[in-house]
């Protein structure tokens, strides 16, 4: 058995009954259940639809996301999440680079690296090198003035943890940011790269080894093994090419507002919903959310 989930941005609840019922009838699904009126609904299916991606494309024009997953084991016991452009709305290195006067140049490299056009580790070293001499105090300024949380993150963490799940923030960014974001959102642990410093300024170097694509996958495997569960018991979320191995190994891998090349390699894609989409995809009703 499978479950089809339709959802949209909670700030603009455009999902209507006609859309849900029309798709349910076309696919011969069971009775629809509204997880949040106007925002999310689901219905059971006996088989994976052959025209899933054709329908998905049509719904995108309506600002509605669609996912079809196996019904069994949807509620996960672990959340493993990327940070930049996933749990927060910015790329931290781009914000630091802007303070250093090289924002546009670095942002272009970041975009290409996240789309899989550049080697992640080489791109990270190049970008960090451009931060040499920047005062360490700028990190606090950036966190205070430039970083905003992705909508739905606190509810996602609170709800999953209240239901016994473990949460890990695993980022190709920097520990100086992940430690703060993890504490604010309620993650159990965080892993990231370490910016090296000389006195009161950034050294323009990052500690080795670099936490990249393989390290994210290794983190998923290591943490799940430590908890006595399997990667299939985890939901992973990210947006960049360095997240792909992690997304494709987890029981539920969600490409959230992801780069086109990343979406193309993921079976669960959320372009319109916020982070509470991960709860709806697991079958949580809005009334079950912990706020």
Looking at the annotation, which residues are catalytic?
82, 84
Q: Which of 5, 104, 46, 163 is nearest to 95 (CA)?
A: 104
d(CA 71, CA 54): 22
**DSSP letters spanning 175-236:** HHHHHHHHHHHT-SEEEEE-EEEETTEEEEEEPSSP--HHHHHHHHHHHHHHHT--GGGEEE
Residue 235, preceding bond cis, omega within 30 degrees? Answer: no
| 56 contact partners, CB below 8 Å, separation of at least 6 | 66, 269
User: Do 96 and 110 meet the contact criterion of CB atoms below 8 Å apart?
Assistant: no
């Amino acid at each position: 058995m499978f479950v089809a989930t339709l959802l949209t941005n909670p700030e603009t609840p455009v999902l209507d009954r006609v859309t849900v019922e029309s798709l349910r009838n076309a696919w011969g699904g069971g009775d629809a259940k509204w997880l949040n009126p106007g925002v999310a609904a689901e219905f059971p299916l006996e088989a994976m639809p052959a025209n899933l991606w054709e329908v998905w494309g049509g719904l995108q024009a309506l600002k509605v996301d669609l996912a079809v997953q196996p019904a069994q084991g949807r509620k996960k016991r672990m959340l493993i999440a990327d940070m930049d452009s996933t749990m927060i709305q910015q790329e931290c290195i781009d914000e630091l680079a802007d303070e250093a006067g090289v924002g546009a140049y670095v942002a272009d490299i970041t975009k290409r690296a996240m789309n899989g056009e550049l080697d992640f580790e080489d791109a990270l070293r190049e970008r960090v090198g451009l931060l040499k001499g920047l005062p360490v105090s700028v990190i606090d300024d950036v966190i205070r003035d430039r970083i905003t949380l992705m909508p739905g993150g606190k509810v996602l963490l609170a709800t999953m943890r209240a239901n016994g799940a473990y949460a890990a923030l695993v980022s190709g960014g920097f520990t100086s940011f992940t430690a703060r974001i993890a504490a604010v959102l309620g993650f159990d642990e965080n892993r990231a790269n370490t910016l090296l410093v000389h006195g009161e300024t950034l050294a323009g170097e990052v500690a080795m080894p670099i936490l990249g694509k393989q390290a994210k996958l290794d983190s998923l495997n290591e943490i799940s093994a430590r908890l006595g569960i399997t990667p299939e018991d985890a939901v992973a979320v990210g947006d960049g090419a360095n997240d792909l191995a992690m997304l494709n190994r987890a029981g539920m891998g969600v490409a959230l507002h992801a780069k086109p090349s990343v979406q193309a390699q993921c079976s669960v894609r959320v372009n319109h919903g916020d982070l509470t989409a991960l709860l709806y995809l697991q079958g949580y009703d809005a009334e079950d959310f912990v706020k």
